[in-house]
Amino acid sequence: MEPSNWLRREVMSDDERRHALAHELGLPFVALGRDDIAPEAMMLIPEPLSREHNAVGYQVGEGGLEVALLDPADLDALYFLRSQYRLLPRLVTREDMIRALLHYQKHLYEVYGRHLERGEGQGALDTLLRHALVSHASDIHLQTTDKGFLVRYRINGTLKDAMTLPAATGARLVDKLRTLARLPASSLPREARLRVDLGHGEEINIGVASMPTIGGEKLLLSLTRNRERRGWTLHSLGLHGEALERVHKTLLHRRGVIAITGAPASGKTTLLYTMLDLLNTPEISVATVEQSVAEILPRVAQTDLAVTGLSVGAALRAALRTDPDAVLLDELGDSNSAAVAGAAALRGLLIVATTTQAELLPQATFTVRTALLRKLCDKKFLQKSKLTRAEADTLEDAGANFANVLAALKEEDKVAKDTAWKDITFARASGCSECDGGYQGLLGVQEVAAQEGVVGLNVLEDALYKAAQGLTSIEEVLALV
């Protein structure tokens, strides 16, 4: 072993090696005190991520966000901030990092934890939701454990421990959620939706799912801010080609039934509200029946089931008595309501409904099946290769017709007209400094089926069509099988 290497490994401490690394990489090595940390900078990085990756934001300004780190590679975990801030890495001692993380946890306790522990019902819930939003959480998992009431957040697709609350606080939270969502205590799984006004124009729509476990009830809260649904088009959600044209034509003619189906968190509601935006014009009377109204829209007659207590069927019948041209339903789940919707369509109305049971609407003009895949990083650090024999066999066995995919790519000018299928290459995820293992964001894939069969591509073929363009990886396509 070279002497310099021996000295570096055996004599230098961790902090000394870190100081040498900073010099080698041209990064500042800073002394970080509590007074150096600006709360607004610190809170830009969710505390679970700060704790996991030893990364604390401490100053933010026109130059960017200064981030204290122990390892420069951990800056990759903050890729989601790069669209808003220039990230400026700064190395610190382990002791300074420990103090910074303790300061972060103390700050959170003062701002949120104390209110959660002492808050009653609504106050505790509001505080929890604000903390989740500050932490960029898409979902909150609540579960009773032998050590207390565990709160976890899903951040950028990954579940992180957020905090453990006293059991009494957890019980108050669960009771308040049950009351707001009108969920009775039950040994059966339950689902509901509710909307919470956090003040200052911040409203949040929450999907609540409860599951009895041997340790007590587990709750999942799926969070959607109102503004997240703005600005979408059918094309931006993933529809294209003949499928896009046929669905758009049905919306313009305002007749028939469009059923939107897919697994939970597959983009059904986003697609429904995008269609609502297209229909919401001054010359059309539109009514909705929603589990929980997320956003009040001009001209639209919206019925909030969580507020009125009506069933889907009763609310649908009431809406049909107000002379609408189109009715949109957020989750159609029973045969009686489906029969009412089908009869209304026969009278010349347009019915658009999300459902997990497409068989309830056999008379649907179109059934749009939707799914979400992770979108590849647009930095183009991609590895491309052809399908292996095993991958091709798996996809063909699952129902993918490669000739259909190639025809769509040629028809929509995504590849040259003389391209053969054997020449098509597919991207494979390859991480870079600005993404999460090669991915950034989500991508919709769809299958539109009419009475005569699938229009264009089925959902697996649509995923291949998009993977061939480098929008998603072949690994994500195979995950659909």
Report the run of H or E that residue 94 belongs to, with start and end: helix 94-108
Question: Across all residues in the chain, what is the average pLDDT?
Answer: 81
Between the alpha carbon of residue 165 and those of residues 175, 356, 394, the distances in Å are: 15, 35, 46
Which structure tokens are listed for 397? 């066995």
Residue 3's pLDDT is 43
Higher-confidence position of 463 and 169: 463
pLDDT at 438: 65
pLDDT at 228 over 50: no
For residue 123, is pLDDT > 90? no
Tell me the pTM: 0.59
| pLDDT beyond 50 at 451 | yes
Min mean pLDDT across 199-203, 281-285, 327-331, 344-348 is at 199-203
From CA 446, how far away is CA 442, in angstroms rounded? Answer: 13
Pick the closest to residue 238 from 459, 398, 399 (CA basis): 459
List C-alpha distances in Å: 402 to 169, 424, 462.
Answer: 55, 10, 11
CA angle, 75 as apex, 71 and 79 as ends, to 5°?
165
Confidence (pLDDT) at 294: 63
Distances in Å between the Cα of 92 and the Cα atoms of 36, 340, 479 are: 13, 66, 41
Q: What's the pLDDT score for residue 115? A: 63
pLDDT of residue 6: 41
- Phi/psi of residue 423, each to 5°? -90, -10
Q: Which tokens hold the place of 468?
A: 């061939």
Average pLDDT of the segment spanning 26-31: 89
Give pairs for 137-141: CB < 8 Å, separation 24+. Answer: 137/46, 137/162, 137/223, 138/222, 138/223, 139/220, 139/221, 139/222, 139/223, 140/220, 140/221, 140/223, 141/218, 141/219, 141/220
User: From residue 370, how far is each of 37, 60, 166, 225, 448 by CA, in Å?
Assistant: 44, 40, 40, 21, 9
Structure-token pair, residue 419: 């391209």
Q: How far is residue 232's CA from residue 235's CA, in Å, rounded to a whole number?
A: 8
Cβ atoms of 427 and 475 within 8 Å: the answer is no
The confidence band for 464, taking pLDDT boundaries of 50, 70 and 90, is: very high
> Torsions phi, psi of 346, nearest 5?
-65, -20
For 366-388, write each residue's pLDDT tens digit. 889 999 888 887 655 567 888 88
Higher pLDDT, 191 or 44: 44
For residue 341, the model assigns a pLDDT of 87
**Closest of 170, 172, 264 to residue 215, by C-alpha:** 170
Which of 41, 69, 43 shows the shortest CA–CA distance to 55?
69
Token look-up 């059934």 returns 367
What pLDDT sits at residue 7? 44
Q: Write down the residue that tokens 């895949």 correspond to.
A: 373
Give the number of other CB atoms < 10 A from CB of residue 250: 19
Q: What pLDDT band is residue 1 in, cutting at 50, 70 and 90?
A: very low
**Residue-wise over 62-78: b if at least 16 C-beta within 10 A, else e?**
eeebbbbbbebebbbbb
Is the confidence at residue 120, as pLDDT, over 60?
no
Mean predicted confidence (pLDDT) in 236-247: 86
Quickly tell me which residue has 């400094």 as its tokens.
433
pLDDT at 108 over 90: no
pLDDT for position 83: 65
Domains of the chain (ranges plus CATH)? 3-101 (3.30.300.160), 119-227 (3.30.450.90)
Q: Which of 49-53, 97-101, 199-203 has the lowest mean pLDDT?
A: 199-203
Q: What is the pLDDT of residues 58-106, one digit of tens each?
A: 998 888 899 999 998 888 878 777 767 888 999 999 999 999 998 888 8
Amino acid at 403: A
Per residue in 324-363, pLDDT (tens digit) is 999 998 888 788 888 888 888 888 889 898 888 888 887 7
The backbone region for 160, taken as left when phi is positive above 0, alpha when psi lies in -120 to 50, beta otherwise, is beta
Closest by alpha carbon to 367, among 231, 250, 240, 238? 250
Of residues 55 and 342, the one with the higher pLDDT is 55
pLDDT exceeds cutoff 90 at 280 = no
Task: Please give the full DSSP string across 157-195, using - where no structure is assigned.
Answer: TEEEEEEEE-HHHHHHHHHHHHHHHT----SS-EEEEEE
What per-residue confidence (pLDDT) applies to 461? 93
Count of beta carbons in the 10 Å neighbourhood of residue 98: 13
Query: Please, how many CA atoms are within 13 Å of residue 181, restricted to the half-sphere of its CB?
Result: 25
Tens-digit pLDDT profile for residues 207-220? 788 887 777 778 88
**Residue 422: is its pLDDT beyond 70?**
yes
